[in-house]
Amino acid sequence: MSALHLLWQGAAVVVGGGILGLVYKGFDRKLAARMQSRIGPPLRQPFLDVGKLLVKESVVPKDAVGWLFRAMPFLAVVASFTVLLYLPWGPFPAILSGHGDAILVLYLLAVPALAMALGGFASGSPLATVGAQREIVMLMSYEFPLAVAVVGVVWRLATLGGGPAFSLAAIAAVPLWTQVGPLGVIGLAILAACLLIVTPAELSKIPFDIPEAETEIAGGLMVEYSGTYLALFYLADAAKTIAMAALVVTLFAPYGIAGLLGLSGAGAQAVDLAFHLVKIFAVMFTAVTTVRVAMARLKVDQVARGFWLQITAVAVAGLVLLVLDRMVMG
């Protein structure tokens, strides 16, 4: 594949991912509003928000560490969009397929959170500092179950000989569910559930919006951000939402429907891509929209305890089941 071709495809994914992220954000807001018996904003509201933020003045507080404060939004945006390049899009393989794997994606997903935390610390406001501390605690709490879930799946796949270990392309190509035994299916289901629970935490959405916690710390690590920088964080969040949901889909439901419909060629690709997007939407609706309207915000110590003890225990149990399955099935 030529470098130019790669560049062109990459640009398409980044732009498409950004637009898709904002569209999905619009759906998320609209559906959340309807669940709360409100009208909600029009679907294009996220675009209007970003547009408005881009023309607003970007204030850098006097007490802030200027360069760090300015750099972090860019880091967050770059990291979240890079994840999109590593994820397969339905029938299309990932743009950077072969240049990195599931582990890299895990690290990249942690980068926006770190960037936000650093930006929060750099903004020199006590509220942002509290938010940044919380973000770090959150990061430490959910990373382990997240890693267990992802690693469990890719390891089991590697044992089946489905291509290079930890390669997301291989996972997408070989759906696991049919290839493991009954123990494995239970284990996979548990890991899928864990990943769905981690998703809102990864995205800092209620009940895990602790680092921002509007009513407590007034937006926390975002409190000093405005204008372009805030727009960048907004975009990063939109892209990360898509990336996280796409990761769940890739790991646990990489199925297409074109085969079932008896399509082939470009039609099949289009249908599969559309189906992929629908699946991403379904994951977002389940793990983000529904959860965030149905729960109260938890406290950081409750979240840390929950992730370290209960969720980790459950995830490890899922992993153990996969290991047992490997022993049984060979």
Partner 1 sequence: MILKTLFSQLFTRPATNRFPAKYMPKSVLGFLGKVQAGKATLVPPVPVPPKFRGKIAYDREKCIGCQLCIRVCPAKVIEFLPEEKKIRMHVARCTFCAQCVDACPVDALAASPDFLLSDTDRHSTALIVE
Partner 2 sequence: MPDQVYEIPIGPIHPALKEPIRFTFKVEGERIRGVDIRPGFAHRGIEYMGMKRNLIQVLYLSERICGICSISHPITLTLAVERAAGIEVPPRAQYLRVIFAELERVHSHLLWAGVAAHELGFDTLLHLTWKVREKVLDLLEELSGNRIDYAIPIYGGVRRDITPEQVPQVEAMIRYYRGLLDELLDAFLRDPSVEARTRGVGVLAPEEADSLCAVGPTARASGLAKDVRQDRPYLVYGDLGVKAITPREWGLEPRGDVYDKAVVRLLEVGQSLDLIERCLVEMPEGEITSFPKIPALLAYLKKADGEGLGWHEAPRGEVIHYIRLEAGVEEPVVWKVKAPTYSNLMSWVPMFVDQEIADIPIIAASIDPCMCCMDRVHMVDASSEAMVQKEELLRLSRAKTERICRGGGPA
Q: Does 311 bind partner 2 (CB under 8 A)?
A: no
Residues sharing a CB contact under 8 Å with residue 266, sequence separation 6 or more, in sequence order? none
Among 122, 206, 231, 245, binds partner 2 (CB under 8 A): 206
Residue 112 Cβ vs partner 1, minimum distance, rounded to whole Å: 29
Q: Does 38 bind partner 1 (CB under 8 A)?
A: yes
Q: Does 269 bind partner 2 (CB under 8 A)?
A: no
For 256, list phi and psi in degrees, rounded to 5: -110, 165
Site for partner 2 in 39-98 (CB under 8 A): none
Strands (E), the chain: none
Among 153, 300, 319, 322, binds partner 2 (CB under 8 A): 300
Helical (H) or strand (E) element with 232: helix 227-252
CA distance from start to end of the chain: 37
Cis peptide before 207 (omega within 30 of 0): yes
Residue 127 Cβ vs partner 2, minimum distance, rounded to whole Å: 7
Q: Which stretch binds partner 2 (CB under 8 A): 164-172, 173-181, 213-221, 263-271?
A: 213-221
DSSP of 56-94, one letter per residue? S-----TTS-HHHHHHHHHHHHHHHHHHHHHS-BTTBPP
Q: Does 55 bind partner 1 (CB under 8 A)?
A: no
| Residue closer to partner 1, measured from CB, 37 or 215 | 37
| Residue closer to partner 1, measured from CB, 125 or 289 | 289
Contact indicator for 304, 143 with CB cutoff of 8 Å: no
- Taking the C-alpha atoms of residue 164 and residue 157, their distance in angstroms, rounded to an integer, is 9
- Taking the C-alpha atoms of residue 21 and residue 29, their distance in angstroms, rounded to an integer, is 12
Contact map string, positions 292 to 321, toward partner 1, x by CB under 8 A: -xx---------------------------
Q: Which does 174 bind (CB under 5 to 8 A by kind): partner 1, partner 2, none?
A: none
Contact indicator for 217, 50 with CB cutoff of 8 Å: no
Q: Which stretch binds partner 2 (CB under 8 A): 45-53, 211-219, 236-244, 258-266?
A: 211-219
Q: Does 36 bind partner 1 (CB under 8 A)?
A: yes
- Taking the C-alpha atoms of residue 156 and residue 166, their distance in angstroms, rounded to an integer, is 10
- Taking the C-alpha atoms of residue 305 and residue 239, their distance in angstroms, rounded to an integer, is 28
Q: Which stretch binds partner 1 (CB under 8 A): 28-36, 78-86, 127-135, 144-152?
A: 28-36
Binding site for partner 2 (CB under 8 A): 35-38, 126-127, 130, 133, 206-207, 209-210, 213-219, 293-302
Binding site for partner 1 (CB under 8 A): 31, 33-42, 290, 293-294
